[in-house]
Each structure stands twice: as C-alpha cells, then as structure tokens.
Structure 1
Amino acid sequence: MSIKLFDLSGRTALVTGSSRGLGRAMAEGLAASGARVVLNGVSPDRLAEAEADMRAAGFDVLTAAFDVTDEAAVLAAFQKLDQDGIQIDILVNNAGIQHRQPMMELATADWRRVIEADLTSAFVIGREAARRMAERGRGKIINIGSLTSELARATIGPYTAAKGGIKMLTRAMAAEWGELGIQTNTIGPGYMLTDMNEALVKNPEFDAWVKNRVPMRRWGKPEELAGVAIFLASDASNYVNGQLIMADGGIAAVL
C-alpha cells in the first residue's frame, strides 16, 4: 500500500473553528499532508495569528471569518469561495461550544445556543459543501463528535444531545450522499487538553478522575487528532462512510 494514499496535495480543506485548539491542530495536520487549508473563526485577530504561524511553517493557508451559527454568513462565505474559484474538497465541521449546568437549571436559550453551534451548524455547512462536492462527484466531510456521542455525563446535557446528534447526522449524510461520491464520518475526541477543558484540567479531582479512568492514564493532545483527520480526508478512507471513530485513549472501551 502506497503512502500516497494519504497525500492531500491539490485538495482544499475548510476547517471550522480552526484558529486554535483541536481545529488548529487538525488544520496543521491536513496542511502537512499537502492540503491547502481555509481557516475559520469569528476573531479576525486570532485567525490572522494562526494564518501567519502556518504560513511561516510553509503551509498554503487562507482564512474565512464567519460565525457558523449565522446561516446568512455561511451562505455568503461559500459564495465568496465560489467567486474566488476555491473548491472545498474536504470539510471538517469542528466549531462548537460548551455550557456546563444542571439541566433543571438550564435556560432554553442556552440549550438552543449549544445545539445551534454544535449540531445545526454542521448540517448547514455540510449541506453547502455537499452541494458543491456533488457536482464534482467527490468529497470528504468530517464531523467532530465527542466521547459524548456515545456516553453521557452530568451537567453537559445540551452538548451531549448535540454530539449524539452529530453521530446520527453523519449517518444521515452518509446514507444520502454516499452515492454522490461523498464520504462522511465522525471523529469522537475524548478528554483533550484544550481551552474548552482548561477549568477541568486545573481541577485536581477531575484531572485525577480522567487519568484514572482513561486506560492510557493521560489527557489527549490536540495534535493526536491529526492522523485520524488525515486518514478520513484522504483516499485511504474511500470506502469508509458513516462511521464514528473514537480518539479517546480507550475510555469508551472499558468499564
């Protein structure tokens, strides 16, 4: 089997929420495998910093600043890409938020905010990318789920519902778009060292719980998602469709 199966040269990847964290790590991994990467976020300053860093590393990088929960902004962003002659071959639906609160105390507005950011945005952006991929007869969509795509934990109800929805959205996309040459899969990260989890990492009790619960006895590093993303974005995964691949250190595999 040739390593060229993993070569992404000549392909363009849009990674949402990629100015930092897991999105940035996956964007760097795709770029290192030859892809041109379109970084996305809502902070122009963070995007500019990420773009500069990746360009300095020799990567081919563009930026598209838009809020993934604003459908009009999403449509405008894709129209701008069309006008500029930029075809998205790979989409990584990574952008998302967290809200920790017991459900009995949870406001409906906060529920909807998480669902819109973590689930609805993946549908809207995935739909727009797929419409264009279908015209070319090929494409890769990678939705970012979570350990909570399979398992629940108290105080993160809307996030759990959204990430469970991502798993089933992926299957729905695979069912409808597979015959069009589009493969859609999900990556399910476990407990990762990200800004979103900073408070948990700094909590000695929770930190100890993670390290005792995960068979590898440590938190995951953002860059450890890059290999899975490269696989799912490349020709190496051309017959992989509708799957949830956990990158969780084994936590979901054990009691």
Structure 2
Amino acid sequence: MNFKLNALVAAALLAAAGSANAAIDPGLNGNGEIWFAVYDTVAQKSFSFDTGVYMNDFVGTGVNYNYNFGSDANWTTFTAGSNSANWLWMVGAESGNGLTTSRVFTTDNAATVAIPKGGPGAMSANGAIFTSAQIAGTNYTVNGSAVKVVGDSGYFGDPTMTGNWGTKFSPDASTTVGNSLNFFSITGASGLGNVNGVKFGAVATDVWTLSSAGVLNYGAAAPVPEADTYALMLAGLGLVGFMARRRLAA
C-alpha cells in the first residue's frame, strides 16, 4: 500500500466519520482493527478513530499511513474549547484469544518494551472493553470516529485505558502533541520471564506523530540536522546578507 493509496483510504474513512459510534473491531476473532485515541486531561473528553486497518494487514516497514481529521465533525467537536497542550494520545489494537495467544499493537515512548508474560492477555482484555464500548452492534464495516466525555461508556480517559492499558502496561503508551511514538507488536507467550515487544518500522525509525491541527501520521521520522549542518546554513545566510549589502552600497 503506497502513500497515495493510503491517502485515498483515509479520505474515504473520514467521509464516513461523524457517526455516533466508531465501529472498532476489538479482535475477538484474533485480528482487531488499529485505532487512534486522544483525550483532553483538563476538559475530560476524548476523540477516537477507527483507521480501518486490521492488525494482520498492517505494514510497518517503509509505508506511510496518513489521516487528516480536519473535515471530521467529531474532531471539530472535540477540539472546540480544548487546548492541545492538554492532550494525550496513543495508537493501539488488540486481539483476545487467551493469555498465551493474545496480541496487542501499542505505541510507546521507549525504544524497547518488555512486560510480564501475562501482560498481553490483560492488555487485550482492557483494550476490548474500550473498543467494544464504542461499537454500534457488531457492524465493523463503517469506520468512523467518536467523541466521549467523562462518564460515558468508551471514554478514553477512564481507568480502562489512559495510555497504560488500564495499568496492565507499565511503560507509557501515550504522549503529548508534537512528540512521536514508537510502535510495537506484543504477543503473549508461555514460560517464565518477560515478553518483548517487536518494533515496527524500517530500520526501527518509523513512528506515529500527531499535530495540533489533527494530522496523524505513521512513517519515517524527519531527520534532525546535525550541528555542523546548522553552522553551514547560518554561514550561507550570512554570506547572502553580506553580498546583498554590497550590492545596495554599490
């Protein structure tokens, strides 16, 4: 799936947005849909979005997924009277087939993650509670968005989620606007010890980002210029300014 195709898919999804419930498949059959959720920690309201991409179909290497919520009526409702400085957001998905076969996708701030072996099952169960609360019946064909306020069933800020999968995930799966998040696949395993998350992304550089304008993107992180690059840029600008002054003097 290339970038243009992803853009078309995103446009189709957003055209269907604005429904009261986001039809997020919680993966009870072992293959859930990837969702995005953000909540305002002060206004205590949340926005969730069903990407329409299933776990088994997600391609995490050299592929961009881009969603622009600018035309989403629910995003407009969420952002009204809201300060983006107070937002926490994450991306996830779950499939629940028991402690040994449960699987979750989760964002995280860290470069690596490791959790107790029973963790994926507990995370998947809590994730299914979060997503099932936003489903209109069992219809997973209409992918859209939802706005919830504190006290609503499916509110992202309730104890079920809030970025740590209901305390079942000790690392921090959420972050503020302007920061990026790594993406991991974690599968339950038998035996002793921890379960390690497998990092998605080409050469482990692909990340999720969210802008205050409501653009969610998964892809390669933008390179940060080295110090010597900045020095060359400044020197070049200084030289251009010097030449411009000489021409004016002439």
State whether TM-score is above 0.5. no
Greater helix proportion: 1
The TM-score, its normalising length taken from structure 1, stands at 0.25
Name the structure where strand makes up a greater proportion of residues.
Answer: 2
For the pair shown, which has the larger CA radius of gyration, 1 or 2? 2
Structure-2-length-normalised TM-score: 0.25
Bigger RCO (CA 8 Å, 6+ sep)? 2
